[in-house]
Each structure stands twice: as C-alpha cells, then as structure tokens.
Structure 1
C-alpha cells in the first residue's frame, strides 16, 4: 500500500504520481489471494484474473484388460483323470492313434516296410537291410541317409507297425471276443497277440533290443512300450483314472518285457507254448489289486 500525506501542493503532486504509477497495476487487476491453500508458497499469493483458465488435463487412456488364458484341460470331462490326460497327450485315443506310417514320409515308409523283408535271415536290423529295401522299391540307396539313426528307425517303424496291426485286429472284431473273458484272460490274449508278431523276427530280436537300449534310442523305446501297454489296458476294458492307472501299466509293462525276454531264452521245440504258459502264470499270480 502507498501512504500519501495530504500536506500542501507537493503532497498533491506526489499523490498524482503515485496514482499514475498504480494505473498499470490496476489495469491488470492484480487481486490478492483471499484464501490461499495452507501449503501454497508466498509467491503464489497474487494471481492474474484476466488469463483464460487452463484446459483440463487429458484423461489417460485406459489400459486394455486381458482375460487370463483358459486352461487346456477345461474341456476335459470331470471323469478324465491322469489316464485320460495321458491318452490325449500321447494320441492313443481311438480318434488320434498313431498308425504304422504316421510320422513318416511316403517314400520313407515304403523303404522301411520293404527293409523288414531283409531283416531275417541274413541282414538283421542294419543299414544294409535298409539299402536293400530301397532297391526293392526302385529308390536310390541315398534315401537311407534321411534316417539319422538308421537301424533304430527300422526297429521303431516295426514297433509302430505292430501296434497298428494290434489295434486293427481289436477294431475288426477281436474286441468283441474279449468281452466274454476274464480280465487276466483278456490281458494274456492281447499280450500274446502282440508278441506273436515278433515271432518271425525272433532270431534277430536280441539285436533289436540292443539297438533300443542305446542311450540315443532308449527314450523313444520307452515311449513306444508305454503306448503299447496303454492300448492293451484300454482294450481289456480298463477305464480307471486314479493312481492305479500308473501301477497297472507299470506291472503289465514288466510282465510284457519278462515274457519277451523269455521268448529269447527258451529254445525248446515247444517254446511257443512255454512262453505263453509263462505269460499266463505271471498275469494270474499278480495280485488282483494291481490288475
């Protein structure tokens, strides 16, 4: 504030000068802040009232909401447990089974199938048998190089082909005959059907087992046997999905492997009957809680 003393002409002149100096300030209408916020600094006590109000701040865009991904198992039925999930993952269900030629190109399948004719009696499970098979189907032997593990590929193809033959026989009517048998009889019959497919190659099967046991091949070998045992159990009528699912397949896998080895060690004239009796004995003596 300006204090002016009203004494004489000089005082009046000073008053006029002060008034002229205050005119620009009054033109800008500087008004004191009547109620500044408690935290406002002293420099903000004077605000300009002629300035246009600042536009409101833009509203930040909303982030898109992402729904959590649905679990793949949501479509499973309430009764599908470990067994159902395993069969779905392995493709062992009737609608998604792996056939003997699945996973192989057409030319490779022809070569492998023709190579099986040269395994017995001379060439065995070897690259030579595969080269001979390629020549039988009028293909260059160079195609054998398309198989990274060569002999193992031939054995694995044979395992896949035997599994497909077993499933075809079950679907063709063998499954109806199994309904009238006891569980142990159904298992014995199915395992026998599968082992009989190896009978023509029994003289060369020790070599096949040796190839399957190699570190590079053991993983595929175990998977193939697991799928085989799973198919046998389902064909026998097992629909369990609890912890027994694993126990049953482990037990049957051991019985199958033991019967397979017994076929190789028994050289008696009636060895076929011997190993079948051995198979039935194993299954019959297994506790019922495991079958």
Structure 2
C-alpha cells in the first residue's frame, strides 16, 4: 500500500496538467488523498514545490531500478549512458507533469533547486554505471551529463515522433558530441607538446577533489 507521501503525490498528478505544481494542486491532492492538512504540510512544507521535488526523485528511483534490472555487460560505455538517460526520461511517463515542473524550476526562486535536481540525476547515473572518480573529473562528468540530460528532456517535451524516435536520435547526437570532447582531451594528454603546455593548469586541476559533504549530491554518504 502506498505511504502517505506517495498517496499525496499520486493525487497531485491528476491536477498538475490543469493547475501546475501550485498551491491549488496541493490542496486538491490533500482532499483527494484524504490526508490531514497538518500531516500533509509536515511532509511537504512548501506544498506543491516539494511535491514536484518528490516527483523528480521518484523518477530517479525508477531509473535506477531499470538500470539495475538491465543486462549491460556487453554494451559500449556510451550506450550505457544513453540507456540510462533514456530510462530516466521514460520513467517520467507524464510529459505534462515534467513540462510544468520545468516551468516551475525555471523561476528565479527555484532555479537553483532545479539545477540541483538535474545534477542529482546525473550523479545517480554515474554512480549506477560505476563511476569512482575522485578528482576534477567527478565534476566535469556530472556537469556534462547534466547538460545532455536537460537538453534531451527539453527536446522530448516537444517531440511528437512515433515512439519518441527523434528524441533518442537527439540523445545519441549529444552523447557523440561528448565523446568527441573526450577524444580531444585524450589527444592533448597523448601529445608531448600539448601536454607540456597544459602541465600548469593540469597540476591545479589535480588539486580539485570530489565533495565529502553529506548534503551534496554524490557526497560521502551517497557514493557507494
């Protein structure tokens, strides 16, 4: 049986297409779910904003379940990343809820939280795929994947192609762009001249370490 928080979120989803992630939606969800207002507000202090956060995190959890159940041993790494991003988007299911969430987290008041949620999704993907980086690569991998994921979501929101084929082709192109950057970085490392020129900046970047704070996505308690 769904717990109280899940019941409220499920109830809210039927109202989001009409009223967005708003106080109106939150109040309707409380009534539909038959939850005491005090209990509902304790679970979601900011009302529908916290419901939208919960909806995003539910999608992350569903994505991780799909990744865990998939057989990816023979896949190229780039294909694993594409599979994970696709699994995350497909886990959302309700495009209108995502569209309304995108609008909400584009507001200046909530933009930082929206960026944190996307970063958290990217971090969850890298950890699920076995990333163990502890240096500046920890940041660059997540920043790059955050860009790939967010741009693909925006494309998906406007994609009416059968089976969202255009979205998955767009995703493949974005990952190919990332692979080109990685090849370029490898070329710099392998070149004696270029690696010598980059020696100073590289030494500085080597000092950058992954965060240890528990309240950051990918921090010490969230990395397995």
TM-score scaled by structure 1? 0.55
**Aligned residues, how many?**
181
Corresponding residue SS for 1:241: coil
2:93 paired residue among 194, 199, 212:
199
Residue 224 of structure 1 corresponds to which residue in structure 2? 117
1:257 paired residue among 150, 161, 167:
150
Answer yes or no: is the 8 Å Cα contact 2:118–2:150 preserved in 1: no
1:166-177 mapped onto 2 (5 Å cutoff): 166-171=63-68, 173-174=69-70, 177=71
Structure 2: gaps of 5 or more residues: 184-224
Residue 73 of structure 2 corresponds to which residue in structure 1? 179
Answer yes or no: is the 8 Å Cα contact 1:170–1:235 preserved in 2: yes
Q: Does 1:116 align with 2:13?
A: yes
Between the aligned partners of 2:127 and 2:40, the Cα distance in structure 1 is: 36
| Residues 161-201 of structure 1 deviation map (CA, whole Å, 9 limit, x = unaligned) | 11112223333x22xx122110110000000000112232x
| Residues 205-257 of structure 1 deviation map (CA, whole Å, 9 limit, x = unaligned) | 33211211223322322222112101111222322222222111111111111
Answer yes or no: is the 8 Å Cα contact 1:263–1:272 preserved in 2: yes
Q: Does 1:242 align with 2:138?
A: no
Task: Give 1:153 shift.
Answer: 1.3
1:49-128 mapped onto 2 (5 Å cutoff): 107-120=4-17, 122-128=18-24
| Residues 250-270 of structure 1 deviation map (CA, whole Å, 9 limit, x = unaligned) | 11111111101111233x342
Between the aligned partners of 1:225 and 1:290, the Cα distance in structure 2 is: 22
| Residues 72-104 of structure 1 deviation map (CA, whole Å, 9 limit, x = unaligned) | xxxxxxxxxxxxxxxxxxxxxxxxxxxxx9xxx
1:151 paired residue among 48, 55, 76:
48
Pair 136,153 (structure 1): closer, same or farther in 2 beyond 3 Å: same
Residue 162 of structure 1 corresponds to which residue in structure 2? 59
Residue 211 of structure 1 corresponds to which residue in structure 2? 104
Which is helix-richer, 1 or 2? 2
1:285 paired residue among 165, 177, 202:
177
CA RMSD of aligned residues (A): 2.6
Residue 139 of structure 1 corresponds to which residue in structure 2? 35
Structure 1: gaps of 5 or more residues: 1-100
Between the aligned partners of 2:161 and 2:4, the Cα distance in structure 1 is: 40
Between the aligned partners of 2:120 and 2:53, the Cα distance in structure 1 is: 13
Which structure has the greater CA radius of gyration? 1
Task: Give 1:125 shift.
Answer: 2.3
Between the aligned partners of 2:104 and 2:155, the Cα distance in structure 1 is: 18
Answer yes or no: is the 8 Å Cα contact 1:134–1:143 preserved in 2: no
